[in-house]
Structure 1
Amino acid sequence: MNFNFHVTPKISVGFLAKMRSITNIDNVDPKLAFLAERELEYEDLWDINLNEELINFNHMTWSEFGLNYGQVLTDAGQHFLKAGANVKYLSGYAAAYMYSNNFEYNLYNDDTTRYLAGDFGYGYSQNIADASNNTLDQSGVFGLPKASAKGIGVDLGVVYEWRPDFKDYKYDMDGEMNLWARDQNKYKLRVGLSITDIGGLSFQKAGISRDFSVNTSNLFDLTIFDEVQSLEGFDTTINGLINQSSALGNSEWTAGERDTLSSFYMRTPTAFSFQIDYHIWKWFYVNSTGIFNIISKNKDSKVKVANQFSITPSFDHAWFGIHLPFSVNDYSGFKAGLGARLGPLTIGVTDYRFLFASGNVRGAEFYAGVRVPILYDAPNDLDGDKVSDKVDDCIDVPGPWTFKGCPDTDNDGIIDMKDDCPLDSGLVAFNGCPDRDNDSIPDRVDDCPDTPGLAKFNGCPDTDLDGIMDKEDDCPLDSGLVAFKGCPDTDLDGIMDKEDDCPLDSGLVEFNGCPDTDGDGISDQEDACPLVYGKKEFQGCPDTDGDGIIDGIDDCIETPGPKENNGCPWPDTDGDGLLDKDDACPTIPGPKENNGCPYMDTDEDGLLDKDDECPNTPGPIENNGCPVIEEEVVEVLQTAFDNLEFRTAKDIILNESKPSLEELSNVLIERPTWKLEISGHTDNVGNEDKNMVLSKKRAESVKRFLVDHGVDETHLIIKFFGETAPIADNNTAEGRQKNRRVEMKIIFE
């Protein structure tokens, strides 16, 4: 019996209870089996040395009560892994073992051996002795015999599933997303690995179970065992042979090392198992399973499972299945089975070949079982709305989980069955009917559903609040009069504003509602002087003096005058015969030749500026108004010029040139109205641009010297010409010498 249930979708626990009984006989030589069947009466095998190695007989009957635990370790898309374990309480009822090692014999006849040797051991539990004596204690649980041994067993296993199409087994239901379809196998390939029945039980030996060795070359009478009627009798016989051999002082029959042990440990059938299951298509599968004993053959007290490998094609529906297992087993060899499952009932045969066997068939292997699974069902969803039928309030009509499967066609949060306007998204206040323009009038009774309006106009607006709804108002944005279909007449001139060129001023029909305030026949909007009577050619403005200049811009309204003088006649203010417009000095009399201005004598030297070559510097008339330069000053200038020399290709004044320059500076300081023009020149030797720079630097060097000696910097004028103004032939050394010069010239203003 096995019972399992899920605690969570990823964790399961369960309980198991089962009764098991296994008997193994291993490594029996066919010759020995043949002799046993013929009761040794087969002369062809007499007088022959025969040997048997590791003959084993093991039996155990026990029950198991266990708890199991399983958990999903990985559930990531294509890959699924779970592991589980059973922890079992083992209750032993009966166990027995017999083994031989290095067993050799030679038969003299059917009741005597010529040679007998080997190591032997056997043991059995007290229950077996009690059963043979009819004293078995039946007070165990469930009416079973009382257990004579206890132990713990463990099963371990893992299962991996490859799910390449895992998305096909996911669905959404009842507000939960990405759920597994638990009623379907999702894997394409499933691999399981397990180790089962790890453990064993320790039984008390019954009677005088023995562990002994035999090595005799004397004739041995086998009929000594004919009198044995029970296990105790067999023990007594073996004990007698050992004691007799010991009394005679030989070692033909001797006790083994473990002969004195009072208990023996019987191992449960520990095995390794693998299962590979391939999902072919829909309900068609093929399974490969291997079960292999992993207890060493040298262990003398154990029960084991037979090594087996099977391949099973199957059709496996939830409530019906057919299985065709093909297996190879250590004990039974090859078998071809057939099984069927109908609901909880499973029946089958382990080898269907007996059905086709010839001759007399003495038996057949079959099996039957009942398994009552509690299967997962796919949730029913009749209307396909991802709300299961068991919680769907509208089972025949699709709807969202929010409303327990009832539709809200217009998605307004009100289910259709309670929505007066199920096809139009609306408001709770109007039982699901819309009010698109938010005017508190539902659209179904609103004559203007897209424009907010008033209840008295059935939801239509009166934007300008003139008592005329917009759709009947020719001027819906401006409050107006009924007489003009809602259009205004702001100036109350009987002409509605949209046809009135002057809607804010009361006017005349002939001027499209515009006024003519001055009554000159020109409407105010076209009249440049709307408050003064005027002429049409002057856009309604007057021209009192008739000079063609309207009064508004005429500076002499009563007197005609030219436009250039803003309508006033030209005057001659200074009476010099030149009109002010032509007179450069209209308030001061002056000759016409000087544009009406008097001639000036700025430097007051008695010579008018027009005749004065130095109008800002006094000078005698005979020198054209310029001052006369004294001979001694001319001499100073000439000396400074003649003595001025620079370092070759430099602007550094030589020391011998400085005294004459100092004298020149004194002359200029004494005559503060004079200015000096300093002009630098070079010959044409070298680069033209460099010569230009050099001429400038030399002129500036002279200026710096004079300024440093007290001359006003503003009275010094620098000019430079480079090689562009020679005074001599540059082709001769003498000419080039003359061209390398700094000229100084007195300037008068």
Structure 2
Amino acid sequence: MKKISLLVMLVIGTLSAKAQSYMGYLTDNYSGVNSVIANPANITDSRFKTDINLAGFSVFAGNDYYGVNVLDAIKDDYDFDLDAKKSPTTDNNAMVNLDVMGPAFMFNLNKVSSIAVFTRARAMVNVDEVNGETIDDLDNDDTTDFVVNEGDFNTFGHAWAELGVTYARVLMDNNQHFLKGGLTAKFLQGGGTANAYGRNVTVNYTESSETIATTGAITYGRGDDYDNDNYDYELPEAIGFGADLGFVYEWRPNHADYKTEGANGSTYNHKDQNKYKLKVGLSITDIGKINYKDAISETFDVTNTVTEDDIDNEEDLNDILNNLYTLTNSSVGYKVNLPTALHLNVDYSLNRSFYVNLNTDFSLVSKGKENASRIANAVSLTPRFESKWFSFYVPVSVVQYNGFQAGAGFRAGPLYIGSGSVITALAGDDTKGADVYAGLKIPVYQGKPKDKDGDGVIDKLDGCPKLAGPVENNGCPWEDQDGDSVLDNEDDCPTVAGPVENKGCPWGDEDGDTVLDNVDICPTVAGPVENGGCPWKDTDNDGVVDKDDKCVDVPGTVANNGCPEVVIPTVEVQETLNAYAKTILFNSGKASIKAESHEVLSEIVKILAEYPSAKFSVEGHTDSSGSDALNQRLSDSRANAVKTFLVKNGVDEFRLSSIGFGETRPIDTNATAAGRTNNRRVEINLVK
């Protein structure tokens, strides 16, 4: 039955490698020569004089079928079939990727160009459209008969080595906007390849007769002698060429902070510092193919019915296909496509130590493309702390087929180590992927420019490196005849001492208001000291200066402190207001106004509009029925309800106040019904 399972696994597929390398680490501006694999433009205008990678590796494994608790999975008694969480679908995937960065180095040719040479070994496997529901059935000991309706599936594995040479240079530098580009040419040596592609494949197993009925076609390709029992490995006759292309744009709004100019016009850029606020990188990697001249590709019609014994009697998978099924096509040699991908990287500088990076990796190889590796589409957000000797980063990613993952990593001088998924792998009970990377290098950083005399002129531009002096005099000091600390070349009164801010001359008082010109806001117009030497303003031209005017923007009278005289309603108007107010009806025992009172309230609004400067108090009163507390709350609520209606209908809320007096201010006896009716009232009174 094991060989039957092997055949079925071939049909439904088991692995696929679609993962990125060194997640988090490559966002670091101090990743040096390693960053060339993400974008070849990175190596120029870098923080390194030279950078030598000794060895580094990145390995990733994942799937969307098995979910495990990583801490439990490493135990000896862990059973994937029993303990793992399964998520079978008709399209399951798993992920494996190995990326080894061998000896590599980079160095600067001059101020605007750099070169890098690197070695790299990689291995990837791709399988698409795996029927995980069938895998679940096979893992179930209770399964007897089963039918696999796989349809089309694609499996591909490839290992290869790279020798790359990168050239990068600055393309544009106009201070605020900076652009650099890079190109990598790669010699490729194939290490091995294998593939299996199924078209319209079905498998029907009947336990009672121990027969396996299959339909469809399977193409099986591999490197020469791939299935032979030969342990003396030799590199296949498989070479190719590849290329990476990338550009990086930097927005440098504070570019002046990173440049020092000499008196002769020469400029020194501070190479040890990142200069951007925003950096955007765009690259296409792994353009190219490897030609396996001796590789074999065979297509079989697998429409047949065989028994378990038929399969058990065959030596290996190759014999099963050749002896039990029909070979319909055979060819020698095929080309393998590299995992071509598009990368967009956006890096934002919060300050000189903290950054946030957004990176997207998008495969340009279509899913299911034959004889081609492909990466997973992924989006990563990585906050990081970065300095010359230490960096720490926490990548948070969404990876195609693998879902959400979070990790952490750091760089400490020559050591870099981390994982793009360690946090989710250790914290989750349903982890479907994990990765780790580590490496050693020899970094030689750009040095900070020296300024021995501390005059702000770096030694390379300083005419007197041991004696402090200004930039315009090549770092040499100017004379100061009057001893006022203003050098003679800038002193408008070189023989009379004066303050620095007045170019070495004493301050005058041009308008004669006793306020010296250096602190006189209006040096040509006399004004009082308390107003900074300026005349007081009268914004509304009403004869009352602003400092005394309580209505600065509205003309008024002197007698009313610059405000217009308030027009107040007459006694007759006040009586009319309260006559209207007394007719406002409320629902019994409530503060809600009856609809028939809206008309009289609208008349009150019209009256109040005739006195826009007057303020009024809306006062609520009740009779003595009920408790004092209840009457107080009711009178408050009714007064506020009237105020709210007036405000909603155009009366300025700042002109109105509301208050309830309960039963404390009767205007009639509470002993009679008529008296109580008179006491239940709302009044609108002028606030004087």
For normalisation by structure 2, the TM-score amounts to: 0.51
Q: Distance in 1 between matches of 2:208 and 2:441?
A: 53
The Cα shift of 1:355 comes to 7.4
2:216 to 113, 118, 123: 118
1:106 to 194, 204, 208: 204
The 3 A distance-change label for structure 1 pair 174 and 3 is farther
1:61 aligns with 2:131: no
Q: Matched residue of 2:302: which SS? A: strand
The 3 A distance-change label for structure 1 pair 61 and 236 is same
Cα offsets for 1:97-125 (capped at 9, x unmatched): 11112112222229845642122111111
Q: Matched residue of 2:133: which SS? A: helix
2:301 to 190, 193, 213: 213
2:143 to 37, 43, 48: 43
1:301 aligns with 2:371: yes
Q: Distance in 1 between matches of 2:409 and 2:236?
A: 36
The Cα shift of 1:94 comes to 0.9
State the partner residue of 2:183: 85
2:241 to 139, 147, 152: 152
State the partner residue of 2:541: none
Preserved contact between residue 111 and residue 222 of structure 1 (Cα < 8 Å)? no
The 3 A distance-change label for structure 1 pair 307 and 402 is closer
Letter matched to residue 319 of structure 2: T
Q: Distance in 2 between matches of 1:111 and 1:396?
A: 98
State the partner residue of 2:121: 19
Preserved contact between residue 128 and residue 368 of structure 2 (Cα < 8 Å)? no
Q: Distance in 1 between matches of 2:396 and 2:122?
A: 25
* Equivalence map 1:258-657=2 (5 Å): 259-353=329-423, 357=427, 365-385=435-455, 387-389=457-459, 395-399=465-469, 407=476, 409-410=478-479
State the partner residue of 1:30: 132
* Equivalence map 1:672-691=2 (5 Å): none
Preserved contact between residue 12 and residue 70 of structure 1 (Cα < 8 Å)? yes
The 3 A distance-change label for structure 1 pair 271 and 261 is same
State the partner residue of 1:500: none
The Cα shift of 1:328 comes to 1.3
Cα offsets for 1:271-292 (capped at 9, x unmatched): 1111111111221111111112
State the partner residue of 2:311: 225
Q: Matched residue of 1:236: which SS? A: helix
Q: Matched residue of 1:118: which SS? A: strand
The 3 A distance-change label for structure 1 pair 129 and 408 is same
The Cα shift of 1:357 comes to 3.9
The 3 A distance-change label for structure 1 pair 60 and 152 is same
Q: Matched residue of 1:302: which SS? A: coil
The Cα shift of 1:385 comes to 3.9
Preserved contact between residue 174 and residue 387 of structure 1 (Cα < 8 Å)? no
The 3 A distance-change label for structure 1 pair 309 and 227 is farther
The 3 A distance-change label for structure 1 pair 58 and 74 is same
The Cα shift of 1:192 comes to 0.9
The 3 A distance-change label for structure 1 pair 260 and 356 is closer
Q: Distance in 2 between matches of 1:228 and 1:174?
A: 86
Letter matched to residue 213 of structure 1: D
Letter matched to residue 241 of structure 1: L
Q: Distance in 2 between matches of 1:394 and 1:111?
A: 99
1:135 to 212, 232, 235: 232
Q: Distance in 2 between matches of 1:362 and 1:333?
A: 8
Preserved contact between residue 288 and residue 309 of structure 1 (Cα < 8 Å)? yes
The 3 A distance-change label for structure 1 pair 174 and 215 is farther
Identical amino acids, percent of aligned pairs: 35
The 3 A distance-change label for structure 1 pair 237 and 31 is same
Q: Distance in 2 between matches of 1:239 and 1:300?
A: 22
Q: Distance in 2 between matches of 1:28 and 1:68?
A: 39
Q: Distance in 2 between matches of 1:203 and 1:10?
A: 39
State the partner residue of 1:177: 266
State the partner residue of 1:237: 320
The 3 A distance-change label for structure 1 pair 228 and 114 is closer
Where does the alignment leave 5 or more consecutive residues of structure 1 unmatched?
A: 138-145, 243-252, 413-422, 426-749
Q: Distance in 2 between matches of 1:11 and 1:411?
A: 45
Letter matched to residue 24 of structure 1: N
The Cα shift of 1:321 comes to 1.2
The 3 A distance-change label for structure 1 pair 23 and 367 is same
Preserved contact between residue 68 and residue 87 of structure 1 (Cα < 8 Å)? yes
Preserved contact between residue 53 and residue 100 of structure 1 (Cα < 8 Å)? yes
Q: Distance in 2 between matches of 1:110 and 1:337?
A: 50
Q: Distance in 2 between matches of 1:311 and 1:108?
A: 51
Cα offsets for 1:199-247 (capped at 9, x unmatched): 11121445x652122234xx42244333444xxx4333322234xxxxx
Q: Distance in 2 between matches of 1:209 and 1:222?
A: 26
The 3 A distance-change label for structure 1 pair 149 and 30 is same
The 3 A distance-change label for structure 1 pair 298 and 21 is closer
The Cα shift of 1:391 comes to 8.6
Cα offsets for 1:540-592 (capped at 9, x unmatched): xxxxxxxxxxxxxxxxxxxxxxxxxxxxxxxxxxxxxxxxxxxxxxxxxxxxx
Q: Matched residue of 1:353: which SS? A: helix
Q: Matched residue of 1:260: which SS? A: strand
Cα offsets for 1:457-480 (capped at 9, x unmatched): xxxxxxxxxxxxxxxxxxxxxxxx
State the partner residue of 1:626: none
Q: Matched residue of 1:372: which SS? A: strand
Q: Distance in 1 between matches of 2:414 and 2:470?
A: 38
Q: Distance in 2 between matches of 1:334 and 1:160?
A: 29
Q: Matched residue of 1:128: which SS? A: coil
Letter matched to residue 234 of structure 1: L
The 3 A distance-change label for structure 1 pair 359 and 73 is closer
Q: Matched residue of 2:134: which SS? A: helix
Greater shift in the superposed pair: 379-388 or 147-156: 379-388
Letter matched to residue 318 of structure 2: D
The 3 A distance-change label for structure 1 pair 326 and 364 is closer
Preserved contact between residue 127 and residue 136 of structure 1 (Cα < 8 Å)? no
The Cα shift of 1:409 comes to 4.6
The Cα shift of 1:390 comes to 7.1
Preserved contact between residue 338 and residue 351 of structure 1 (Cα < 8 Å)? yes
Q: Distance in 2 between matches of 1:110 and 1:181?
A: 80
Letter matched to residue 329 of structure 1: V
Letter matched to residue 143 of structure 2: E
State the partner residue of 2:587: none
The 3 A distance-change label for structure 1 pair 169 and 53 is farther
The Cα shift of 1:9 comes to 1.6
For normalisation by structure 1, the TM-score amounts to: 0.47
Q: Distance in 2 between matches of 1:170 and 1:110?
A: 83
Preserved contact between residue 126 and residue 204 of structure 1 (Cα < 8 Å)? no
2:291 to 202, 218, 225: 202
Structure whose alpha-carbon radius of gyration is higher: 1
